[in-house]
Amino acid sequence: MRGKYANIIVDISHEKVDRPFQYRIPPHLQGKLEEGMAVTIPFGKGNKELAGYVMEVTDQAEYAEDKLKDILDIRVGDMPVEADFIRLAAWMKRNYGSTMITALKTVLPVRQKKKTQEKRTVTLKLPVEEAKEQLAFYEKKHQTARARLLKELIGQQELSYELITGKLHVTTKTIQALAEAGICQIRTESFYRDPVRLEKQETLRKRLSAVQQDIVEKISADLQAKKPGVHLIHGITGSGKTEVYLALIERVLKNGKQAIVLIPEIALTYQTLIRFFNRFPGRVSVMNSRLSAGEKYDQFERAKSGEIDVMIGPRSALFTPFPKLGLIIIDEEHENSYKSESMPKYHARETAVQIASCHAAGVVLGSATPSLESYYRAKNGEYFLYEMKERLTGGCLPTVYTVDLRQELKEGNRSIFSRKLQELLTERLNRGEQSILFLNRRGYAGFISCRSCGYVMKCPHCDVSLSEHRNGTLVCHYCGYEQPKVSVCPQCGSKYILGFRAGTEQIEEQVKKMYPKARVLRMDADTTRSKDGYEQILSAFANREADVLIGTQMIVKGHDFPDVTLVGILAADLSLSVGDYRASERTFELLTQAAGRAGRGNKPGEVVIQTYQPEHYSVQYAAKQDYEGFYEEEILYREMMQYPPAAHMLAIQIAALAEEGGRGLAERLAEAIRKSQDGSVRVIGPAPAAIGKINDIYRFVIYIKHREYDRLVEIKDFTEELLNGIENRKETVYFDFDPVNAY
Ligand code: ADP
Ligand code: ZN
Ligand code: ZN
């Protein structure tokens, strides 16, 4: 009889047991086991009952019959893993470094006990006549948000909470205030776990522009191929990319296939989702990090059973088990959130390409500022490239002023606002228009620069900024190079060479001091800590409850404010100095996006970029909104320094409770890797990580560069083997291929 034994991966994440173990299939399970099923097995000396996944059913005993244990049972309720997913997990394990079980768990939905979900609705409590009186009162008082909500409630019997906070831009606070005043009532009821309950709206189908039509035709033709390719759409914001996605999905569905759309969590707004729901009513589901494991599982079940055809969500939506996947779309493909921060540290882009190739599906990437990786591949012919250069809704690009902060200092202005920015801000406040002040806070890590000439202290070997450490030394986080702090600028001799320290709070204080009448909102990690904080601030600003919005990178994404006519970028070069080879790319991307926030409506916008390095290419190209120019210059730097995408990079991170142990192991690994490889492999470090100690755990990092990805995979395997040979190892080691952040 076929299938007497099963090779099983045990549900323990430990390198030592990260291989299949063989078990006997007992008579009552014979013929019932399939690859990917979850089973219960006895494990180890104590025969502890553990879960495991069947990797293979075979007649080939690898050990003597009497040495094998019996499988206990099939775990009902656990979704069996398709062979596809096992292969995908194996691919992730190999290419990103992790145990098989961790990789499996990344691609599998976890079944949990069903928890009933709640749906919140708001209904009018007052009689209609009274409500109308109240409405007139709000209107007279210019309480626009309240008036809007009340008006809608008078017109409709019931509104969903999501609709109110989303489309109506009314904050939770306002709803609660109305409820407390006895005007409306908030009801909570349970409903089947279906996160998509948006009412269909009638919208006119847009006629595609010639550019859009052309792209849709070309990509659709390619989707018919046996092996569809990867398509990169480089299109400015508002150029109509989403409309192209919709048209492509429509064709995919017509062919009886399904589509996955990845959108960064922060951009999963009502405005975006509603377009998909309207276009494919009842066929779309959304995944987000707020869903419980059980809800995610439900969504996957619905996808598998054919109940839905389109899944929208962040990174993890990639693993939706559609029976006939036809297309994967990744919007805002340059976003760092597409890279996983836990093991396996996979990138959604590469993983999407891998998944697509198993299904003969196509991949479409879209961005206004594509990642260097994608653009490089498009230029090399690996991806197809499409350009969309015009905004379809009209509205011209904003006027950009670049202000040299060194000059401001020379002329005696020590405020964080340049004279130009003050002038324009005053103008906006007088005219009653809105402004955004953007603090590029990524560079807070303590780099040192000269206020007088803009000089930044850099590592002589890696060409990235040095970071100031508490003990006063300046350190490179790639190679560990160290030098004492300087007190005068090596370039101009000024003594104004120091770390930049200004946070959003200080800016808020300054604005309030200079413009006591201005209504100010601040959005940063502190003010958005609560679950609805982010949404509340955005709706309040959209409701024109404030004149000025101050914030970090959070404010440059995902939301449109048509009344904003001024964007001030306070210190553009902060992110240029994060001690990371991607600093220029990120700066260009943030500046371009921030600048794009101004003048979305019909009033023209202005942008002030304040910087100590006005001559820096990422500042200059961002001011001109010239992606191509930026790319050409940046790729030269990557080629010269052999940073990705010109080469590949593997970061090996060592985490240890004991500092000496950690450093010792890091040195030992670096040494062994150096010895085992030829001169084409560059081993850099070890160095202490940027944050050398987190929660009492010391962290060290080794960087390895090589042109060939596979060579780095070999080095990872070699390192794993070394690690397995060390008894009682106390340190933990993580692998990160082509890291998006410096450690
Ligand atoms: P992107 O995704 O590139 O930011 P969108 O697809 O969201 O661009 O389009 C931007 C705006 O232009 C939206 O308001 C959209 O409704 C509108 N739009 C897109 N395509 C067309 C078209 N063919 N005709 C008219 N308006 C369009
Ligand atoms: Zn100087
Ligand atoms: Zn260095």
Q: Point out the ligand 1 atom lying closest to the alpha carbon of residue 246.
A: 6
**Segment among 343-347, 499-503, 699-703 with least mean pLDDT:** 499-503
Ligand nearest to the CA of 466: 3
43 CA distance to ligand 3 centroid (A)? 47
Determine the residue type at 496. Answer: Y
Provide the pLDDT for residue 112: 44
User: What's the CA gap between 297 and 316, in Å, rounded?
Assistant: 12
3-state secondary structure of 108: coil
657 CA distance to ligand 3 centroid (A)? 25
Ligand nearest to the CA of 395: 1
For a substitution probing ligand 1, which of 213, 279, 333, 392 has the most ligand atoms within 8 Å of its CB?
Answer: 392
**Segment among 448-457, 511-520, 695-704 with least mean pLDDT:** 448-457
Distances in Å between the Cα of 647 and the Cα atoms of 347, 585, 637, 683, 712 are: 16, 16, 12, 13, 11
Confidence of residue 666 (pLDDT cuts 50, 70, 90): very high
For a substitution probing ligand 1, which of 201, 209, 393 has the most ligand atoms within 8 Å of its CB?
Answer: 393
Query: Where does the chain hold its CATH 3.40.50.300 domain(s)?
Result: 210-388, 399-443+503-637
The residue-averaged pLDDT of 22-32 equals: 89
Q: Is residue 111 scored above 70 in pLDDT?
A: no
Residue 343, φ and ψ in degrees, nearest 5: -65, 140
User: What's the CA gap between 285 and 148, in Å, rounded?
Assistant: 29
Determine the residue type at 673. Answer: I
User: What's the CA gap between 25 and 3, in Å, rounded?
Assistant: 8
Q: Is residue 196 scored above 60 in pLDDT?
A: no
Query: Which of 566 and 481 is assigned the larger pLDDT?
Result: 566
Options 3.30.70.420, 3.40.50.2300, 3.30.70.600, 1.10.3470.10; CATH of 648-737: 3.30.70.600
3-state secondary structure of 130: helix
User: What's the CA gap between 327 and 252, in Å, rounded?
Assistant: 7
Q: What confidence tens digit (pLDDT) does each residue in 691-729 have?
A: 666 667 888 999 999 999 999 999 999 999 999 888 888
Options 3.40.718.10, 3.40.50.300, 3.40.50.2030, 3.40.1440.60; CATH of 5-107: 3.40.1440.60
- Closest listed residue to residue 237, CA positions, set 634, 603, 600, 609: 600
The residue-averaged pLDDT of 682-693 equals: 82
Ligand nearest to the CA of 687: 3
The radius of gyration of the chain from alpha carbons, rounded to an integer in Å, stands at 28
Provide the pLDDT for residue 61: 82
3-state secondary structure of 388: strand
User: What's the CA gap between 391 and 182, in Å, rounded?
Assistant: 45
Fold topology of 210-388? Rossmann fold (3.40.50)
Provide the pLDDT for residue 110: 57
Provide the pLDDT for residue 114: 44
User: What's the CA gap between 186 and 159, in Å, rounded?
Assistant: 10
User: What's the CA gap between 117 and 653, in Å, rounded?
Assistant: 40
Q: Point out the ligand 1 atom lying closest to the alpha carbon of residue 245.
A: 6
The residue-averaged pLDDT of 487-511 equals: 82
3-state secondary structure of 39: strand
Query: Where does the chain hold its CATH 3.30.70.600 domain(s)?
Result: 648-737
The residue-averaged pLDDT of 302-329 equals: 92
Q: What confidence tens digit (pLDDT) does each residue in 53-83 have?
A: 887 788 888 888 778 899 998 876 555 556 7
- Closest listed residue to residue 581, CA positions, set 473, 739, 345: 739
Opening angle at CA 670, ends 666 and 675, nearest 5:
150
Query: Where does the chain hold its CATH 3.40.1440.60 domain(s)?
Result: 5-107
Burial of 471 (0-12, 13-18, 19+ CB in 10 A): exposed
User: What's the CA gap between 336 and 442, in Å, rounded?
Assistant: 13
Fold topology of 399-443+503-637? Rossmann fold (3.40.50)
Task: Name residues contacting ligand 1 (CB within 6 A).
Answer: 206-209, 212, 235, 237-243, 392-393
Burial of 660 (0-12, 13-18, 19+ CB in 10 A): exposed
